[in-house]
Chain A
Amino acid sequence: MRNCRPFMDTIIAYYRKIELFFGNLKFAVVIITAFTICLGYGTFMESYHGTEYANRLVYKSLIFMGIQFCMFLSIFFATLIRLPPKKHLYGFYVIHAGLLTLFAGSFITYQSGIDGTLTLAPNQPNRKIQLSDDEFKIQFPSKGKEVSVDLPFVSWPKDLNVEYEGIKLKTFLPFAKNEMNWTPVKIQDESQTSSQYRIFNDNFGEFISLSLHPKSDFNNTLQLGPLNVHYMPSNLSACFIANTPDGIIIWNGETTECISPLPDAIKKKKHNNGKILAEVNFLGTKILFMPEMSPLPLDKKFELNEKSPFRVFSKKLFEKNPHLFLFGKHVAFFNKNTLVWEGQPIEVNQEVALPWMGFKVKLLEHRLDAYPTMTPTYVKPIQENSEIIEGNMKALEVELEGQTFWVTSAEPIAYNLNDERIRFEIGKKLLTLPYELVLDQFKMDTDPGTTTPASFESYITLFKGNKGSTKHHVFMNNPLKHENFTFYQASYFQTQSGPYGSVLSVNFDPGRPWKYLGSLLLVLGSIWHYFLRRRHLAKPGAKNG
């Protein structure tokens, strides 16, 4: 025992040092200042990059939690070194007890609380709460199996290095945007070109990428407002520019050859069904078709031949509305002013005027050796008018059978592995309630004579299995409480069929009583400390007494 005393004394001496260090007022000032700076930084990050980014970067980061823990130690030891109780410090003890209780309540909420949303479409039962944490799901539909991997709550890219049955999960991007990359092709093919253009006028401008390559993430058609843009093999351009009375084009999809026959080259007669039957010679091959019926040619039995590489269509279909045909280095369109099809070659960086509202098209890039693909790239999200306008996507790099690909939160993807279909998805974690809620009616009142919402109200039926059901009315400042869960009116949405659905915020907070108690102690302690301990300096020059 005698030998233990120096050891114990050393321990006690160290403890005293720790106690004095953390309980020191100067440490309190430093830690409060550090905490305050973090908070200020967090609010600016939230303003520029959104709530989720600020949460990941600051409020739910390890550093921030460390600072909060230091604050807890500071408060705890500051109280401890002022014991045994002194009368003039009663208020101080209550304030600090309140703060410690608040910390305890917050910790309980952090550890065991549940915070999510429940989306209710009209008359459709739901019991799944969507939580804020992200997870990566690997589904094997044929086996009825699903595996979930928690995605880290970070603000920057993170390597996961997780492997499951040969599926390697590599880099996770918590905020990403799709960026276009050119992927080289193995065999160059004139019918699989890709191009980038800019379509613009004085008020509007849009960069567009179009591709004929089957592996490209870009299509060969797109719509810009009323303008339809079509990207086609270059061989077809001559047929579009040719102005024939019928405007008929016959196209061989395999060879990409086309003809634009003159009326006397088309033999027309009436078929038994009353429709016009046309026959044309396509570079030595006889083709029969019914131009009023289908772009498919007819076989010998006068039936539509879906296997035929030939297609027949009339350019007249594209004369009513604005259609722009791009063929890589050629442009064609119908000019409504001159009533003729016009076209011309276009070189890289050259502009061609279009006959609609002063629009022009400029060729930026034309590639035969590569095709455009979309690759998720990490980006700090950008917030404008309380909406994330860039970086609102999560992505995970997956390696399977030596192939690497990205799964994004934008849409799940499917992969065929040894004749088995695997589905990959990034989504929110779900929590299943032991009861169901059904939205009977969503009501939104507006301020009189305006469209400004005045109240959102959800009429809900809660189905409790064998225990029957109950009706509830949930609206702002009037939540539904059931089995420790509280359901708050949070938002609403309009379904495709018209009626409104409701979004409820769902919360389970076991730390709530502690937070309330801590708050009460803090306020009462402050009043006690500052007001019941009044000692004021006398005014200089004032008479005493």
Chain B
Amino acid sequence: MVKLTTILILLFSFSAFAQMNFCTNELETFPTRSGGRIKPLYVLATDTIKFISGETKVDELSATEAFCKLSLKAFGMPLELPIKVRVDHVEVKKLLGIKDSDHSIPVNDALAKLDVLETELAKQKENNSFKKEMTKVKQRLDAYRAIIDARLWTVPAPKGNDVEFISLGEFLTETKIASAREKSDNPVNFLFAEAKEHFVKVKGDDYLLELRYFKLNLFLWAMLATILSLGLFVALKNKWPGTIFTILTIAVQVTAVIMRVMISGRGPVTNMYETVMFSGLGALVIACIISLIRKEIAFVIAGLCYNVLSLMMMKFANGMLDEGISPLVPVLRDNFWLSTHVTTVILSYAALSLSWLIANGLMIRDRFFKVSPAEYRYGVDLIYTCIKCGVILLATGIILGGVWADYSWGRFWGWDPKETWSLIVLLVYIAILHGKSTSWIPPHRFVPLVAGAFMTVMMAWFGVNYILASGLHSYGFSEGGAIFLGSFFAIQIAVLILGTAKRKTA
């Protein structure tokens, strides 16, 4: 190892590396394997740098360049990058000596305090937010160390007619570099080009679709198109411009979803990020279909509003929604059931989200503007349409889930929290629908009830994963959503209080 390091230091620092500028963005297309999947280096580098620092760049360097340069530290390259480790929790900041106003710490400072972090971690018995954040910071430091030890970056090396992934440390051997030097002035680049060529020859270049998917940033374009269509619907009397941009939004999102399906090879509903993604698109499509049937543009506007919310969550709520594509747990590896049960349930949530938006909109309009009884009744009818659609989809989704559970686990129903909460959602909406036919739920109670009922959807969707975190659906459990959910409940309750206050005083 000492010999190898010496040779590489000589090789890199004094001549070859200085001239060849090996760590460029051209490496983005290089195939690597991480987390059980083959992906372009761009994806691994961006995901890892983002996980460590919360940023996709280090100083002026792209994630790929920074990742590459950090990996070369394993070979004794004397370079320091100003990479910082993200820390969000106030107590963890105190522990690591970070100012309250800062959200990160230089990696070397963090590494120097690793023992303090580990000691405090060992002391914590309760799995609270402090412990979870310390664990995350430690994982970030572990990821950093895996990069600088050249362990994280795996390289496809020829193995007969196949390919074997080995770490960068194992790939760049003294012999290989010496032999490559005879063929090229730029031996490292030569070796990488050779490895990539062999990989593409054996496995093809399908993995590059993931690079295109991330580079195209289609969901950002979809968000812009959605906002534009909303603006056009509100600003213009002519509905065609808004309609055209709505169709464009759907087309862009469908393309992005198809690309994601092609990359992962499965239905687009396997983690919280994907369910939010699918629900936004689903709500818009359902809204358009209902709108066509009922010839009412309000559905499309509700669908667009919900789609913007979903796309914003996907873009900005990185702490709770992981954009990455990971292999599935064994029980989910059934595309038929995954594509039927989960999508149906998410589509039902999408339909119910339309009722939620229209109900809140109607309640707020009624509170601050004049809404005639006829308009109010009409609004109630629109909400009713969305609920009917949502209830049928949800009942179907729950039953499909029961059939899948029967097929996979041997029982149709097991009172698992995820399935129980989806039943709670169904029952709440059914109780509202039944109550609507009695004197108990007249229109002025129906609207706030529907607005509030969506909290059960959020509980079933996010609460089981982020708050309850128990049961057989543990593959969906995640961190960081409790604050989001708490904020949602607080805002919705505030809107309900505000919206119903007028009725009481009237």
Which A residues are closer than 8 A to B by beta carbons?
Answer: 25-26, 28-29, 32-33, 35-36, 39-40, 42-44, 46-47, 50-51, 54-55, 59, 106, 109, 115, 202-204, 383-386, 446-450, 452-456, 475-477, 479, 486, 488, 490, 505-507, 509, 512, 515-516, 519, 522-523, 526-527, 530-531, 536-540
Contacts and interface: CB of A to CB of B under 8 A. Distances in A.
Nearest to A205: B123
Of the candidates B154, B327, B329, B434, the one having the most CB atoms from chain A within 10 angstroms of its own CB is B434
Interface string B397-434: 00100110011111111010100110110011011001
B408 A486 contact: no
B377 A537 contact: yes
Contact of B378 (A450, A516, A540): A540
B395 A452 contact: no
B438 interface: yes
A490 B409 contact: yes
Given A452-B36, A509-B411, A540-B372, A29 B424 contact: no
Contacts of A526: 391-392, 395-396
Given A46-B468, A515-B402, A523-B395, A25 B434 contact: yes
Interface string B46-83: 00000000000000000000000000000000000000
Interface in B451-479: 464, 467-471, 474
Contacts of B471: 46, 51, 386
A50 to B, nearest CB: 8
Contact of A539 (B296, B327, B467, B469): B296
Nearest to A522: B395
Given A385-B127, A477-B331, A530-B392, A36 B431 contact: yes
Given A453-B330, A455-B330, A455-B333, A29 B435 contact: yes
B437 interface: yes
B37 to A, nearest CB: 8
28 contacts: A25-B437, A26-B438, A26-B440, A29-B431, A32-B427, A36-B427, A39-B427, A46-B468, A47-B417, A50-B470, A55-B415, A106-B413, A202-B123, A446-B36, A450-B35, A454-B333, A476-B408, A488-B409, A488-B410, A490-B409, A509-B406, A509-B412, A512-B406, A526-B395, A527-B392, A536-B294, A536-B385, A538-B378
B438 A450 contact: no
A536 B388 CA distance: 13
Contacts of A448: 33, 36-37, 165
Contacts of B375: 540
Interface in B303-359: 327, 329-331, 333-334, 337
Contact of A477 (B395, B407, B437): B407
Interface residues of B, number: 65
A44 B417 CA distance: 8
B419 to A, nearest CB: 10
A25 B464 CA distance: 31
Given A455-B330, A512-B406, A115 B411 contact: yes
Contacts of A453: 329-330
Given A36-B431, A447-B327, A455-B333, A47 B470 contact: yes
Contact of B424 (A40, A50, A509): A40
B170 interface: no
Given A29-B438, A39-B424, A449-B154, A454 B410 contact: no
Contacts of A449: 33-34, 36, 154, 165
Contacts of A32: 427, 430-431, 434
List 6 tightest A-B contacts by C-beta distance, closest first.
A447-B36, A507-B410, A47-B468, A540-B374, A530-B388, A519-B399
A454 B408 contact: no
Given A36-B424, A477-B407, A512-B406, 20 more contacts: A28-B431, A29-B431, A36-B427, A39-B421, A39-B427, A40-B421, A46-B415, A47-B469, A449-B36, A453-B329, A455-B333, A476-B333, A477-B337, A479-B407, A479-B410, A523-B392, A526-B391, A526-B396, A537-B378, A540-B378
Contacts of B505: none
Interface in B120-174: 122-123, 127, 154, 165
A476 B407 CA distance: 9
Nearest to A204: B122
A452 B385 CA distance: 45
A202 B119 contact: yes
A224 to B, nearest CB: 14
B427 A512 contact: no
A32 B435 CA distance: 10
A505 B410 contact: yes
Given A43-B417, A106-B413, A454-B36, A35 B427 contact: yes
Contact of A203 (B123, B413, B424, B430): B123
A247 B438 CA distance: 92
A384 B469 CA distance: 9
A268 to B, nearest CB: 49
Nearest to B387: A530
Contacts of B399: 519, 522-523
A448 B122 CA distance: 32
Nearest to B415: A59
Contacts of A40: 421, 424
Contacts of B408: 476-477, 479, 488
Given A29-B438, A40-B424, A479-B410, A516 B403 contact: yes
A385 B477 CA distance: 10
B381 interface: yes
A537 B385 CA distance: 11
Contacts of B411: 115, 507, 509
Contact of B438 (A25, A385, A515): A25
B396 A523 contact: yes
Contacts of A39: 420-421, 423-424, 427
B330 A454 contact: yes
Nearest to B388: A530
B218 to A, nearest CB: 27
A452 B424 contact: no
A486 B415 CA distance: 20
A35 to B, nearest CB: 6
Contacts of B337: 477
A36 to B, nearest CB: 5
B412 A512 contact: yes
Contact of A456 (B330, B427, B431): B330
Nearest to B477: A386
A109 B63 CA distance: 56
Contacts of B330: 453-456, 475-476
A46 B471 CA distance: 8
Contacts of A479: 407-408, 410
A384 B35 contact: no
A477 B417 contact: no
A39 B427 CA distance: 10
A202 B374 CA distance: 71
Nearest to A32: B431
Contacts of B470: 46-47, 50-51, 383, 386
Contact of A519 (B154, B385, B402, B428): B402
A85 to B, nearest CB: 19
A384 B329 CA distance: 21
Contacts of B396: 523, 526
A61 to B, nearest CB: 12
Given A476-B330, A519-B402, A519-B403, A115 B410 contact: yes
A89 to B, nearest CB: 13
A54 B327 CA distance: 32
Contacts of B36: 446-450, 452, 454
A29 B396 CA distance: 22
Contacts of B372: 540
Interface in B281-303: 294, 296
A539 B474 contact: no
Contact of B35 (A204, A447, A536): A447
A295 to B, nearest CB: 38
Contacts of A505: 409-410
